[in-house]
Structure 1
């Protein structure tokens, strides 16, 4: 994944991160046990920061470990954090642990993505939702954003696509601001260019798909039985998605590793989809019973 240009001085880069975090030189100095004068000298290039100072400032600015490596290289130091391939034998316990977690979450959907939203592991619940997705989107590497937003992916079956799409794109924008990655920016430009849904989201339409009678009884030709709430949940944005003649409802959560010491691990995210209602949970359990 591309990171910051290495021909930029470490001082201006640190200043850019500080300004992005909206922290004053004085506040950063207090956090890092330094002085505002020294922070100013570092940012203007009048003082060369030590390796320890760069890492301390990066810690208090919450800079991703990949970017911390870039700062160290720009300043003339060796990278501190390794970048180990996920299939490396050293990560055997990590892979096994993630696989156990995903398996334990079945039949509810769960997956692991890397820093570019490529799927590195998934359970049967995810496989179930991917039924009907175009084959070219399932060719490695599977990308979660493409799978979700592409018109030949999950998008046509997402009943509240307008809201869900806006949330995913906002998530990507925050990630781009944090990681400053050219690859993420390219992916964002691609998926944000997919056809956007128009009009009202269908999540509020209780009528069955196909017959347009609006009675919501779920017994017409091509009918879609509702198993999720028509109204948004009070605590999170749900995902309403059609599957097997039903509308399933999920609430997504994302977990990352605490205090990662490897770039690969730092960029992994485990995303799980919790049923938002009893009918969705019962339906998923019935598929695996």
Structure 2
């Protein structure tokens, strides 16, 4: 189903209706957004009805208060008659090359533990050597570029048969994907989530923990040919990015959750 924001985009609505749909998507009243954006409630009403036109600075300020992804901030600027503020640099841009080299260095330094860089749609951009231990037995079709990490993890021909706590782990991933889809008003992420929820063994229900203090974090338990591996997942992203491509990048690190996992991975790295 197309979201209200998606419908506003598809129908080519102007700044006012698009602003209103984003405000409603964020569950804010006109008064609340006006206060956060240092705008009078009356002027906010006029902006949404088209009786007033915003300045470029006001559009950017409201987009910041709405916590819009950079691509959507550009859409809001275009709808108001202004040029986009954020661009996606080409791969051969010198600054982006430096970023990619830095990312490869970070991932290599994380070996022999798995790590990968993904884009906003969870498509793999870079992965380190340590990630290979998770790919044994995965169907070749799932490793054809672009490789979607979410699909690779939960697909019945992917990692799923070897994930010992598939029910809990799939709950965690679907909950995360749902929040991302809502936050970005992304039809693509919503469709991906719907696809994953239909896979066998995947549990699509609210995450409820009876005893929140019984463990530090939910581990990924994976049955490899070298033994059971238990990982804790850590996510990192770029602070204050001003490039659309960079803003969508996420770095996923997997750290050993116990000594046995650490020993297996370090021993494997020593023997090659």
**Which of the five TM-score ranges fits, normalised by the shorter chain?**
0.7 to 0.9
For residues 235 and 6 of structure 1, the distance between their equivalents in structure 2, rounded to whole angstroms, comes to 47
Query: Among residues 73, 77, 83, which one is paired with 2:82 in the alignment?
Result: 77
Moved more, 126-135 or 8-17: 8-17
Aligned match of 2:238: 257
Query: Among residues 132, 147, 167, which one is paired with 1:162 in the alignment?
Result: 167
| TM superposition shift of 1:22 | 3.0
DSSP-derived class of the 2:232 partner: strand
Say how many residue pairs are matched: 254
Please give the residue correspondences for 1:51-200 in structure 2 after superposition, counting only pairs within 5 Å: 51-197=56-202
| TM superposition shift of 1:102 | 0.2
For residues 214 and 50 of structure 2, the distance between their equivalents in structure 1, rounded to whole angstroms, comes to 51
TM-score (norm 2): 0.87
Please give the residue correspondences for 1:270-289 in structure 2 after superposition, counting only pairs within 5 Å: 270-289=251-270
For residues 87 and 175 of structure 1, the distance between their equivalents in structure 2, rounded to whole angstroms, comes to 29
Please give the residue correspondences for 1:233-252 in structure 2 after superposition, counting only pairs within 5 Å: 234-252=215-233
For each residue in 1:99-136, what CA deviation from the matched residue of structure 2 results, as whole angstroms up to 9, or x when unmatched? Answer: 11001111111100001111000111111211211111
Aligned match of 1:226: none
Indicate if the aligned counterparts of 2:154 and 2:202 stay in contact, CA closer than 8 A: no
* Change beyond 3 A, Cα 1:34–1:125: same
Q: Work out which of the two has the higher radius of gyration on C-alpha atoms and give 1 or 2.
A: 1
For each residue in 1:53-97, what CA deviation from the matched residue of structure 2 results, as whole angstroms up to 9, or x when unmatched? Answer: 110001111111010011111222111100123454441110010
For residues 42 and 160 of structure 1, the distance between their equivalents in structure 2, rounded to whole angstroms, comes to 50
Moved more, 44-53 or 20-29: 20-29
DSSP-derived class of the 2:20 partner: helix
| TM superposition shift of 1:171 | 1.4
Q: Which one has a larger percent helix, Structure 1 or Structure 2?
A: 2
Question: 5+ residue gaps in structure 1?
Answer: 199-231
For residues 65 and 168 of structure 1, the distance between their equivalents in structure 2, rounded to whole angstroms, comes to 24
Indicate if the aligned counterparts of 1:113 and 1:119 stay in contact, CA closer than 8 A: yes
| TM superposition shift of 1:235 | 2.1
For residues 253 and 70 of structure 1, the distance between their equivalents in structure 2, rounded to whole angstroms, comes to 31
For residues 111 and 6 of structure 1, the distance between their equivalents in structure 2, rounded to whole angstroms, comes to 37
Deviating runs (4+, > 6 A) in structure 1? Answer: none
Indicate if the aligned counterparts of 2:171 and 2:202 stay in contact, CA closer than 8 A: no
TM-score (norm 1): 0.82
| TM superposition shift of 1:29 | 2.3
For residues 161 and 140 of structure 2, the distance between their equivalents in structure 1, rounded to whole angstroms, comes to 15
